[in-house]
Amino acid sequence: MIRIEAVSHEFGEDDDRVSALAEVSLTIGDAEFVAVVGPSGCGKSTLLRLIAGLIRPSSGRILLGERLISAPTPDVGLVFQSPTLLPWANVLDNVLFPLRMLKELSAEKIERARELLELAGLAGFEQRMPDELSGGMQQRVAICRGLIRNPAVLLMDEPFAALDALTREDMGQQLLELWSAHPKAILFVTHSVPEAVMLADRVVVMSPRPGRIVDIVNVRLERPRSMEMEADREFQSCTRRIREHIYGGRRLANAARNRAKVA
């Protein structure tokens, strides 16, 4: 379980201070899939980096289980927008990279890496080099790398944003399969409202500058999820509610400006 308690974060010094996150509180359950959506500059990526311990919050605290996160921790899996695989290592060695860095490699772990790759539809590609794979396959390798230490939490920063729309949908379904085989807390940052609703149990909606939680939408779609559910009333009402938060303010502002012009 992750507990984010009244976390604020500011960049820069003195007069140039920019508030990236303001008073964010959120609890994510052990096997819960939480998506974060919001416009650019709402501090989504900052939130992930804070949880990974890569940066320290200006105030507030983050607990992973009972432990306070105060330094970079290997107990969260990281998946980024670009696969960032090691170009010199084959697929299997890329997945094993975290274990090598932490000197945790064992025959058993190699077996686990093979199982993960098989689950991700990459059986037979273990010896291939990253530049021989498509973007979607590279990102699946990156997800396996994020899962290899079986972390309690997987942090995903717009993992499918660089993929084409069809691959993206397919990857979402594959991620859900992986997740149901290895349940864990997932915090999934995305720009795509339908993607967030399709994948997550709860969708956290954030506002920009400073990033605040505007709403948390519970998605009451049954699991396993499928693409057909996009037609469901629940799916529609969730996406509508999220979009209202994101675009609603702007629409109101535009309406006010137009009225002012007329007057």
Partner 1 sequence: MLRAIARRWRNGREVFAPVAVLLALLLAWQLTVDWFAVPVYLLPSPTRIVGAVWAVAGEVTAHAGATLLTIFAGFLLSIVTALPLAALLTLSATARAAIYPLLVLSQSIPKVALAPILVLVLGTNILPRIMVTFLVAFFPLVIATAAGLSATPRELIELGRSLQATRLKELFRIRLPFAIPFVFSGLKMAITFSVIGAVVGEFVAADRGLGYLMTSSLAFFNTPLGYGAIVILSLLAIVLFQTIVVLESVLFPWSARMRT
Instruction: Give the C-alpha distances (Å, rounded to integers) separating 245 from 155, 192, 207, 237.
Output: 24, 14, 8, 13
* Identity of the residue, 48 or 120, whose beta carbon is nearer to partner 1 in the bound complex: 48
Q: Which residue has the tokens 């009244």?
A: 6
Q: How far is the CB of 178 from partner 1 (least distance, A)?
A: 19
Query: Residue 101 or 123: which CB sits closer to partner 1?
Result: 101
Site mask, partner 1, residues 108-137, x = CB under 8 A?
---------------------xxx------
Beta pairing, strands 202-207 & 59-64? unpaired
CB of 44 to partner 1, least distance (A): 15
Q: Which two tokens stand for residue 128?
A: 């291939």
- For residue 157, the minimal CB distance to partner 1 (Å) is 8
Nearer to partner 1, 76 or 143 (CB): 76
Closest distance of CB 102 from partner 1, Å: 6
Buried b (16+ CB within 10 A) or exposed e, 155-182: bbbbbbbbbeeebbbbbbebbbebbeee
Binding residues for partner 1 restricted to 48-77, rule: CB under 8 A: 49, 52-54, 72-74, 76
Could you tell me the smallest distance in angstroms from the CB atom of residue 46 to partner 1?
A: 13
- Cβ closer to partner 1: 22 or 113? 113
- Residue numbers of the site for partner 1 (CB under 8 A)? 49, 52-54, 72-74, 76, 78, 80-82, 84, 86-88, 97-98, 101-102, 129-131
